[in-house]
Structure 1
Amino acid sequence: MNLLAEQIKNTALSMGYEKCGIIKISDMSGYEEKLNERIERIPATKPYYEGFYPFAHLQDTYPWAKSIVICARQYGKYHIPDHLEGLIAKYYLVDSRRDENSEDFQDSLKFEAYMQELGIKTATERKFGITALRWAALKAGLGIVRKNNFFYTDSGSWVHLEAWLIDKELESVEIPKLKKCPEKCNLCIKSCPTSSLSEPYTMNRSSCVSCLTTFEGWDLPHEKFNDEMGGWVFGCDVCQNVCPMNKGAWNATEEFPGLSELSKHISLEKILKMDYTFLENVMQPKFWYIEKHNVWRWKTNAINAMVNDYKEQYREYIFYACKDSNAKVREMAEWAIQKLNLLPHKPGTS
């Protein structure tokens, strides 16, 4: 590792990143083979994975790029309100990618500015990554990918990855010391609610609960997996929660900015009573996988969760949703009433 690479790595670590590595741009070429393997295993994923092929040929878009700086940052350090466990996946509760109030976001800006001050040209994409982040981190030796497809460091899978393309030819690669998944362990696969995770290192996006609550699942009354979605309304943590390699990895020592206050407004019942101004202006910027014009999804997801673990207290909220201004929400509420065989309370009855 030359002096410049060492400077970059040490600065990243001093800014709160757990790991930092640098790989050659050519190290991404093997990613194309992995995409081919995934498509071959589950052909239905082809339309989705086809969009990732440019990650294996970054110089077609960025001819000046010579290396990739890849960093891992622990997010399993934040306190998660108890009542949001199993409702919203932890990653999204402490997602710093677009949260300018978070220290993590500000450190990301500072780290990029530092590299630019050194005369390095950079490019990044903070939402979904400028390249295949897990593959880049794997090639840099920052950790390993486990059977549930998540990237693990010493902090388990509760880490966020970031990458920058740079115009300097540098390299800083580690050899990870993490133990591999036990050969006979299949807890993540057995626990996947929809069997989206059907075999090690693969996943069917169209049936993943995280996708069904965000990018898929547009017609929940007719969704094949609406029962299996359980109580989740945004994301899913099941395969990470059951992983033995994550045992004791979440160490809540800090508060994420604004999460405690926001959490007071979130429950299944409160979601159904939320006005669309709040959904669009408060919920959507925080949980941005659901776009502003689709925030009604929060209500349909909440109704589905109510159906899957019905309590009598939910009755009034489901009937309330029958009067919602959005037709999809009204349809979902009527579906729930039929599925649960609910009858409205008559005057004078309890």
Structure 2
Amino acid sequence: MSNVNFSDNSMENQIQRKALELGYEKCGIIPVDMMEGYGEKLDERIEKATGSGQFYQGQKRLKNFQEQYPWAKSIIVLTVPYSQYKVPEEISGHIAKAYLFDTRIDEQAEEYQHSQLLENHLKELGLRVETNRKFGVVALRWAAMKAGLGIIRRNNFFYTESGSWIRIEAFLTDQKMELLQQTTLPACPKHCDRCIKACPTTSLCEAYTMNPLSCVSFLTTFGGRDLPNEPMASNFGDWIYGCDICQEVCPMNQGKWKGDKDFPGVMALSPYLTAENILKMDESYYQQNVQPKFFYLSQDELWKWQVDALNFMDNRYQEHFNSSILEACESKYEQVREMADTVCKKHGLT
């Protein structure tokens, strides 16, 4: 937990106390000039991950955020865990936890509601604020590290005492403030390479470096568009949407997942997110119930989910999948028909 000075009524401490009252795990505040150095690290990563420049193009807005917000003087950085939530058994290991328990725009989630309350509180304090709940208004991991909230580990994820199962949030403000924390988290063991060895597509090619273009999470969400011809698709294993492997094998995450609380709507939604039911899903249900939660895919990309489901069936083939695969050969989506045909040929289905 953040160090709190209850006798100090400075602006910084008022903000921190309110954040902790609302359930945030940690709160720090840094001047905007502490973001210096992020651009160099971003360029270094692009250079190491061959061909990733186009992917990281969007990160340039984070590198140059002061061009858009010249009034910004400090950044409030917060962390909140999601490890308290139950993972439904039927989709455990198939849908990544960060997407299942995504609080960024889910109005039913108490974390989203608390974020709104905190923003209102900041405005009541007379601050001008700006945030981007979906994708961050600044480089979130870098800001959290500079604020002393935790550390970035070899799998590239940011860790607090709750492990990597946390969400980072940030607000720009127009008042110069500083409230730094100190972390006592130990560094990764010197010779630990479990995350690198476990990465199924070698996207995590070395410590603190990854190629997003070969990441399972990228290829099963907004990145993959041609799985029948994707050479790494056979390495996706059990994953349909996202991937948690490099976090799950990390020794620093052991015992951190609590899983004792229901997340709004997840238990009701989970039966529809099995591979077979994804293939049966109609557009109306997808657009009303699935897409608003898993917003990385658009309203017209149900076909992408169905291609991912077929890829899972290919990787974990069982005979009871046959009827679903054959039905998919008649799909109205060309991409689904192509994938189903590929799976049929591979497993001798007619």
TM-score of the pair, normalised by structure 2: 0.96
Match of 2:194 in 1: 187
Which residue, out of 92, 100, 106, partners 1:93? 100
Give structure 1 regions of 4+ aligned residues with deviation exceeding 6 angstroms.
none
1:136 aligns to 2:116 (yes or no):
no
Deviations 1:91-141 (A, max 9, x none): 111101110011010000000000000000000001111110000000000
Q: How many residues were matched structurally?
A: 343
Taking the aligned partners of 1:121 and 1:81, their CA distance within structure 2 comes to 41
1:16 aligns to 2:13 (yes or no):
no
Pair 324,100 (structure 1): closer, same or farther in 2 beyond 3 Å = same
Taking the aligned partners of 2:63 and 2:331, their CA distance within structure 1 comes to 46
1:201 aligns to 2:201 (yes or no):
no
One-letter code aligned to 1:135: W
Is contact 2:90–2:271 with CA below 8 Å preserved after alignment? Answer: no
Is contact 1:29–1:57 with CA below 8 Å preserved after alignment? Answer: no
Deviation, 1:39, is 1.4
Is contact 1:231–1:304 with CA below 8 Å preserved after alignment? Answer: no
SS of the residue corresponding to residue 285 of structure 1 reads: coil
Is contact 2:50–2:211 with CA below 8 Å preserved after alignment? Answer: no
Is the deviation greater in 255-264 or in 44-53?
Answer: 44-53
One-letter code aligned to 1:275: D
Is contact 1:77–1:250 with CA below 8 Å preserved after alignment? Answer: yes
Taking the aligned partners of 1:213 and 1:3, their CA distance within structure 2 comes to 46
Match of 2:229 in 1: 222
SS of the residue corresponding to residue 30 of structure 2 reads: strand
Deviation, 1:50, is 3.1
Deviation, 1:2, is 7.3
Q: Write the mapping of 1:323-334 to structure 2, written as runs, cut at 5 A.
A: 323-334=330-341
Root mean square deviation, CA, Å: 1.1
Taking the aligned partners of 2:307 and 2:259, their CA distance within structure 1 comes to 31
1:125 aligns to 2:132 (yes or no):
yes
Q: Which runs of 5+ in 1 are unaligned?
A: 344-350
Taking the aligned partners of 1:329 and 1:47, their CA distance within structure 2 comes to 27
Is contact 1:22–1:140 with CA below 8 Å preserved after alignment? Answer: yes
1:253 aligns to 2:253 (yes or no):
no
1:54 aligns to 2:61 (yes or no):
yes
1:299 aligns to 2:306 (yes or no):
yes
SS of the residue corresponding to residue 291 of structure 2 reads: helix
Q: Write the mapping of 1:262-273 to structure 2, written as runs, cut at 5 A.
A: 262-273=269-280
1:70 aligns to 2:77 (yes or no):
yes
Match of 1:103 in 2: 110
1:40 aligns to 2:47 (yes or no):
yes
Taking the aligned partners of 2:89 and 2:301, their CA distance within structure 1 comes to 27
Which residue, out of 302, 319, 322, partners 2:326? 319
Taking the aligned partners of 1:302 and 1:88, their CA distance within structure 2 comes to 11
Taking the aligned partners of 1:83 and 1:148, their CA distance within structure 2 comes to 27
Taking the aligned partners of 1:43 and 1:265, their CA distance within structure 2 comes to 37
Q: Write the mapping of 1:163-182 to structure 2, written as runs, cut at 5 A.
A: 163-182=170-189
Pair 47,106 (structure 1): closer, same or farther in 2 beyond 3 Å = same
Is contact 1:28–1:55 with CA below 8 Å preserved after alignment? Answer: no
SS of the residue corresponding to residue 22 of structure 1 reads: strand
Q: Which runs of 5+ in 2 are unaligned?
A: 1-7
Match of 1:83 in 2: 90
Deviation, 1:265, is 2.1
One-letter code aligned to 2:107: E
1:283 aligns to 2:290 (yes or no):
yes
Deviation, 1:225, is 0.6
Deviations 1:25-82 (A, max 9, x none): 0111210110111112123111222332332332211111000001000001101111
Deviation, 1:253, is 2.3
Is contact 2:55–2:213 with CA below 8 Å preserved after alignment? Answer: no
Match of 2:5 in 1: none
One-letter code aligned to 1:269: E
Taking the aligned partners of 1:253 and 1:87, their CA distance within structure 2 comes to 20
Is the deviation greater in 48-57 or in 25-34?
Answer: 48-57
